[in-house]
Structure 1
Amino acid sequence: MNDNFKGVLINKDDNGHRAEVTSIPVNQLPAGDVTVRVDCSTLNYKDALAITGKGNIVRDFPMVPGIDFAGTVEESSSPNYAHGDKVVLNGWGVGERRWGGLAELVAVDSSWLLPLEPTFSPQQAMSIGTAGYTAMLCIMTLDRNGVAPEDGEVLVTGAAGGVGSIATAVLSKLGYQVAAVTGRPEEERYLHSLGAHRVLPRSDFEGPGKPLAKEQWAGAVDVAGGQILANVCASTKYRGTVTSCGLAAGMDLPTTVAPFILRGVTLAGIDSVMCPRVERQEAWRRLGHDLDPAILEPVTKRIALDDCVSAAERLLAGQVRGRVIVPMSAGH
């Protein structure tokens, strides 16, 4: 193994917060029973917050961001993985508390890894990434709560983003009519290409609403939070389910108990970071079965590791469609 590897490194000291792509000594890798050579990583919203310092994401410095990666086992003292195995990781605090995947090498606890689904290449797995895996956790919850295609439309907020794109595509393939919400009207054709039945402007959901509105949605996948989530809950049908997995519009929730006690609406929180292994495995199995890999190419943008710092600002500004993957070499 070479003495150094390339990665994004975030520091915070008396000189302030800074992130740069640099050469890192291998002996600085944190302890882990498996070392993975990263084939492909991603740039997520959370990574962008960490890189720019605009969110309280990083808990220890210095930190390599990157909340997920797919790669090949380089070294292992775990009986579960051997040199050459293809693996994927989502969450578990990497890129926040432990060095993450925006680097050529990463050392992790073997219990955090999953075998890469044979359906997907490392690049396809990262086109899905934490965003797509979270979308599938939402869909599994809708399914578990009995939301069926014949019950009516399912709403997807932030539909042109990473979670929303995959949720829209998978729900459509499963036979649901998807109402896709976006603040970018120029993405309407793109969302229809993913299978959206209709596209709604975000402005329809942004203003203060009534405790109960007209019943419209059998279920919902919400990445926004805030007033948008409150309005989604207020307009969900009797005994419908709303899954909440993001806070792009804010952490507050200015709602009332009315949708929950008068319509029996379920608001289900979705956590992808510490999700139990068995559910992770099922989510990836379902993605291998229910997601058409052909949709991944148009929802994916590739950038070089060297461009991650500048791309983070664009991602936070809402200027990036779908998923951003970071292949670690020209050959990938």
Structure 2
Amino acid sequence: MNSEKENIPMALIEHYFAIGKYTNVIPLVKQRMAEDMENKELWYKLAVSHYAIGQYEEALEPFHRAFQFGYDKGVIYYFLGRIYMATEQWQKAEESFLEAVHNNPNDADVYSAYAILMKMTGHRKKGSLLLEKALALDPNSTVVLQLYSLTEMTAKKEKHNNALALYMNSTDSEFAKLIHLGWSADFHNRFKEAREYYRQAFVIKPEDKRILSNLEELEINTHPLLLPNRIVERLGGIGFVLMIWIILCILLDKLISNDNFVNHLLRFSIFFTLYYFISIPIVKGLRKWKSLK
């Protein structure tokens, strides 16, 4: 009688892993593991599969087990850094990336991910230097080009478009490119376009929970009740708008003798600030209430 290990050929697992069908990989790996618990490749593929579909907690133990059984330390630390960065555990993320660099000093993907972490935590100059090193090490890496395009989303239009074009001409998957285009459109307030990219990506990988999360967040951000919030963000944020509003009130107070008018403006600013901060919880509550009906 054939064992389960024989029933699940490694070639089948490799095939699903290579084409990104991670929800197929997970049960197959677990089934084969019944008789091959110390196989570092299986633990690694299980970990990456969980990571790839946004199941970060589930990915941690398999990565540690792959490390325990001798998988490349630099690769494991790189993925741990990505997980900690995604879950906003900044110190753990940096420690992991430093270990990854120590073990694989010429890995461009590690430098590019570390660069993103530095930019996210306010160390923009160091982030730029790390990204330059990553591009020098491997200018064709899909990971490097994707992260480079992400960092240039705030740049001038021409520079952003050039970085985006480099990534779109890379060998990355159609799914990854659709997600990236969705991020770019969302960041530049092209919400209808972003929604369409996410929907196309969902057709390819309906099991990826992050797409539904992106669509839900997009639906919240584009809600009619949040129109004032979107206007404020385009003007520079609530802090900037309030500062301008207060300066305007002070100037009008000196120019106009009508105290009631200025008082009304001040009351409006207080009301608007309150609305800005409570409107998102209200919209989320309304969506939850509608889903329960």
Normalised by the length of structure 2, the TM-score is: 0.23
Higher RCO (Cα < 8 Å, 6 or more apart): 1
Q: When you count helix as a share of all residues, which structure comes out higher? A: 2
Q: When you count strand as a share of all residues, which structure comes out higher? A: 1
Normalised by the length of structure 1, the TM-score is: 0.21
Larger radius of gyration: 2
